């Protein structure tokens, strides 16, 4: 008997639902649908928060041996460095003692001048200290995780900085931890202003640049930008308070392929890759609770674009308004206007004949006077 006559299909007892290929297609489509729903509608955010809350004790226990080994190794080497830092701090304290003595007087003088000019007082931004637990292992993004979350009052969009400058902003908040997207991330945007010239710009995280460099984009080649200029936050986005140091210009190229904008690389002031303790500031306009890492840069970029002056209204509106006004004129006045236009030639003829009558009257008066004599 030939082998082609055998039925190779499994018996009905072993048939367990759809085929493997059908299940692969179904679960692939389901995975794509869930990813799109999470990115657009944030439907998985409550589930993510629940999982993070459930795994927090396990993460804490897993970090304890590492923390103990790190603390034991750092105790010996940190003693000598602590003494050196104390000596440097004493020297800096001695140098700044004169400035510290003048702070009270300068603050009082500043308040008097602002009151004299009618300016609003500067807002005091609340802040809290936090510790960096670890850096995210994703090679396509630059993020860090801190030990402060919703329980401690951290909100999405909160600016984060160290002792040198702005580090980034909180883009995702969990109950006892938060994710901070660093300025060097390619999706991060920060409106800045040049402290020397006052020129505003937008600072982007540069994925192509080497290291943790930032890029100041859309700056004309004619702008006065020099190496060493300090860039601080402008505050137009409503997220970063104004006046915080962000970066310093490191490289300016005006002779590249683009003849309209200069290629400007900036070095961040904060230690993006070697920071341990940070300060979390309260944002002026917090992001929604389901905000992600893409929402904060979009808000910053939209605020930076909104700060540009709007174009003036076109002058063609005046003729249109006049035509509309003529169209709205009452119909009763139209016959009167037609009659006035018809009587205009008659009035002109009467005005032309008036000098003739006056001259004839003047000529008849001497004749009448001679007749009386």
pTM > 0.85: yes or no: no
Strands 263-268 and 245-253: antiparallel
Neighbour count for residue 286 (Cβ, 10 Å) = 17
What pLDDT was estimated at residue 232?
94
- According to DSSP, residue 12 is labeled G
**Which residues does 299 contact at the CB level (< 8 Å), separation at least 6?**
157, 237, 238, 239, 285, 287
**Which residues does 201 contact at the CB level (< 8 Å), separation at least 6?**
191, 192, 193, 194, 216, 217, 218, 219, 231
What pLDDT was estimated at residue 242?
86
Q: Is 60 helix (H, G, I), strand (E, B) or coil?
A: helix
Domain boundary assignment for the chain: 45-119, 143-306
What gap in Å lies between CA 139 and CA 204, rounded to an integer? Answer: 18
What pLDDT was estimated at residue 16?
64
**Which residues does 221 contact at the CB level (< 8 Å), separation at least 6?**
254, 259, 260, 261, 262
Give the closest residue to 250 by CA, choosing from 305, 203, 188, 180: 203
Neighbour count for residue 266 (Cβ, 10 Å) = 28
Per-residue pLDDT of the chain (373 residues; tens, 9 = 90+): 555 565 666 666 555 677 788 889 999 999 998 888 888 888 778 888 888 888 888 888 988 888 888 888 778 778 888 888 888 888 888 777 777 777 777 888 888 777 777 655 665 778 899 999 988 877 778 889 999 999 999 999 899 998 889 999 999 999 999 999 999 888 889 999 999 999 999 999 875 544 578 999 888 888 999 999 999 998 888 888 888 999 999 999 887 666 788 989 999 999 887 788 899 998 866 655 444 444 555 555 555 555 443 333 333 333 444 444 444 443 433 444 444 444 444 544 445 444 444 444 444 443 433 444 3
What pLDDT was estimated at residue 211?
59
Question: Does CATH number 2.40.10.350 belong to domain 143-306?
Answer: yes
Give the closest residue to 288 by CA, choosing from 174, 183, 171, 180: 171
Give the closest residue to 215 by CA, choosing from 225, 224, 4: 225
Q: Is residue 83 classed exposed, middle or buried when 0-12, 13-18 and 19+ CB atoms within 10 A define those classes? A: exposed
């Amino acid at each position: 008997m030939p082998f082609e006559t055998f039925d190779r299909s499994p018996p009905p007892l072993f048939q367990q639902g759809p085929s493997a290929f059908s299940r692969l297609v179904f679960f692939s489509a389901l995975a794509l649908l869930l990813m799109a729903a999470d990115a657009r509608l944030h439907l998985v955010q409550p589930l993510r928060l629940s999982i993070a809350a459930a795994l927090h004790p396990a993460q804490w226990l897993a970090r304890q041996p590492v923390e103990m080994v790190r603390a034991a190794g750092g105790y010996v080497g940190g003693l000598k460095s602590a003494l050196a830092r104390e000596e440097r701090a004493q020297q800096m304290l001695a140098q700044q003692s004169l400035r510290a003595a003048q702070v009270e007087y300068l603050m009082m003088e500043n308040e008097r001048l602002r009151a004299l000019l009618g300016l609003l007082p500067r807002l005091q931004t609340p802040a809290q200290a936090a510790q960096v637990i670890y850096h995210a292992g994703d090679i396509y993004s630059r993020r860090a995780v801190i030990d402060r979350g919703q329980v401690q009052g951290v909100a999405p969009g909160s600016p984060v900085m160290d002792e040198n400058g702005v580090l980034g902003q909180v883009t995702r908040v969990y109950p006892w931890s938060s994710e901070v997207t660093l300025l060097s991330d390619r999706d991060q945007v920060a409106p800045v202003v040049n402290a020397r010239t006052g020129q505003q710009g937008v600072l982007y995280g540069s994925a192509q640049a080497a290291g943790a460099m930032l890029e100041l984009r859309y700056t004309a080649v004619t702008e006065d930008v020099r190496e060493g200029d300090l860039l601080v936050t402008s505050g137009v986005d409503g997220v970063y308070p104004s006046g915080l140091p962000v970066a310093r210009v490191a490289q300016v190229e005006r002779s590249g392929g683009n003849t309209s904008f200069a290629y400007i690389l900036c070095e961040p002031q904060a230690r993006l890759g070697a920071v341990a303790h940070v300060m979390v500031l309260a944002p002026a306009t917090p992001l929604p609770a389901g905000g992600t890492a893409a929402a904060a840069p979009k808000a910053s970029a939209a605020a930076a674009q909104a700060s540009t002056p709007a174009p003036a209204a076109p002058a063609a509106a005046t003729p249109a308004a006049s035509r509309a006004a003529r169209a709205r004129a009452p119909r009763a006045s139209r016959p009167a206007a037609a009659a006035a236009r018809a009587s205009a030639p008659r009035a002109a003829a009467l005005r032309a004949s008036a000098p003739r009558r006056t001259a004839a009257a003047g000529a008849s008066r001497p004749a009448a006077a001679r007749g009386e004599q």
